[in-house]
Amino acid sequence: MIRVNRKRTMQIVLVSLLLSGVFSAAVSADTNSANSAVVFDPHVLSNMFVSISELVGPSVVTITSQTIVVTRVPSFPDFSHPYMVDPWGEYFQMPREQEYIMTGIGSGVIVSVDGMILTNYHVVGEADELEVVLQSGDRYTGEIVGTDPQTDLAVIRIEASDLPAIAIGDSDDLKVGQWVLAVGSPFALSQTVTQGIISYIGRSDVGLAEYEDYIQTDAAINPGNSGGALVDLDGKLVGINTAIATRTGGYQGVGFAIPVNVAVDVMEDLLTHGYARRGWLGVTIQELTPSLAEHFGLSARDGGVLVSQVLSDTPASLCGIYRGDVILTINGETFRTVTEFRNMVAALDPGNEVEIMVYRDGRSVSIPVVLGERIADEAIVSSAPSPSDDYGWTLEELDRETAETLGAPSLRGVLVVEVSQSGRAGSVGINPGDVIIEVDGFEVTSPEELGRLISSTGDVLLLVLRQGHSVYFMM
């Protein structure tokens, strides 16, 4: 038992709030005593972790994969003949093919009593054989139902019934600081349970998958945990453990899990359509930097993304979204980065009508849009740092031959031939090969015309064509 005097009463109150009533407390009624005490029983917390582990453990499985890999290996010359000469004239042999089996291990979570299991794509990938081992030790052959490499999720199936399916939670209700448990098979050690807190929600740009919206946790996750369960204190699944940030290859306090709401949406699409369906608008977008926000009459605190190009025959072009619009909200929801916007659009069902609020010519405009289905990736370009004093570029008028090389014979503009990285153009991100087509909304066709427009004002907004996509730069 732990006794704490009055001086630490506030600390105890905070702890009891943090644990949401996990500890039982008995408070002395003698308010005049300087040694009034609060008594806690830590066994209550320990027993709660035990109960969660016993509840969740049977729902988490170990997955081993075998993939046949074919490689070409070199054949070395035959030196067994006298004078190291092959009398048959085949001194150098052709490379030969060789097969070997690549094995892997990971975890999975049973999500239906009839054998559906959620896991990571990188756990099962394109495996030729899968074996699923339950907590009971029973072994089953796994079959891939569907995969989505863009979120690193997969669904596999085993032929079994009355399985202990896990209870599904709601990852939208998670809070930073909330306690969670991770269950999986790190280093092939099945049914390993670790405990920690949620460190961050909505972690993106980690570089692990195309669509990222991770739960970050300090619950110990190691190789083999991938595909396992992240659960809350109710024993409900809130995430699929996916990866770690590490310099050693092992746990260093930073792990990532895919929110269960994302995982369930992908799983339902895989089961219904055979692939993950994603909403699509048909625009090229970029971050709204402070300088760009100021130019368009906004504050960077307002959030939003800048439309630098509207693709033809897309939902955006058909509904009246234009290049230079700043998209502020989707169905009233705000976002602050390109990644947040892209994830938000992708999470919506194709064919649904959404309300998009754009900022245009000093006013907000509400535009209804029926989303399409994303087939190809939308281009995303980020702006660069603030400019220096000297432009530091070499410009030429774009000739027809170069325009044809760029795949746009009718294109007119100014070609950037060279850029000094210490100059003003280089500091904002202008690159050799860029074609400047507008300055503050005015089309330019020669270096002289561009020079006059730049010299006649302070900061200017350039519209640049780069690799087939247009991008805005403040300079």
Q: Which of 65, 107, 148, 152 is catalytic?
A: 152
Between CA 197 and CA 177 the distance in angstroms is: 5
β strands within 387-468, DSSP E: 393-397, 414-419, 435-439, 442-443, 461-466
Q: Which of 122, 190, 232, 383 is catalytic?
A: 122
Between CA 264 and CA 259 the distance in angstroms is: 9
β strands within 311-383, DSSP E: 326-330, 333-334, 353-360, 363-370, 372-373
* Known catalytic membership, residue 226: yes
Number of CB atoms found within 10 A of residue 366's CB: 10
* Known catalytic membership, residue 152: yes
Q: With the C-alpha atoms ordered 393, 399, 403, 408, is the resulting torsion angle positive or negative?
A: positive
Q: Scanning the structure block, which residue is given the tokens 């732990």?
A: 2
- What are the contacts of 330-336 at 24+ separation with CB within 8 A? 330/354, 330/355, 330/356, 330/357, 331/355, 332/357, 334/303, 334/304, 335/303, 335/304, 335/305, 336/303, 336/304
Q: Which of 185, 226, 308, 383 is catalytic?
A: 226
* Known catalytic membership, residue 469: no
* Burial environment of residue 312 by CB neighbours within 10 A (0 to 12, 13 to 18, 19 or more): exposed
Q: Are 229 and 89 in contact (CB under 8 A)?
A: no
Catalytic residues: 122, 152, 226
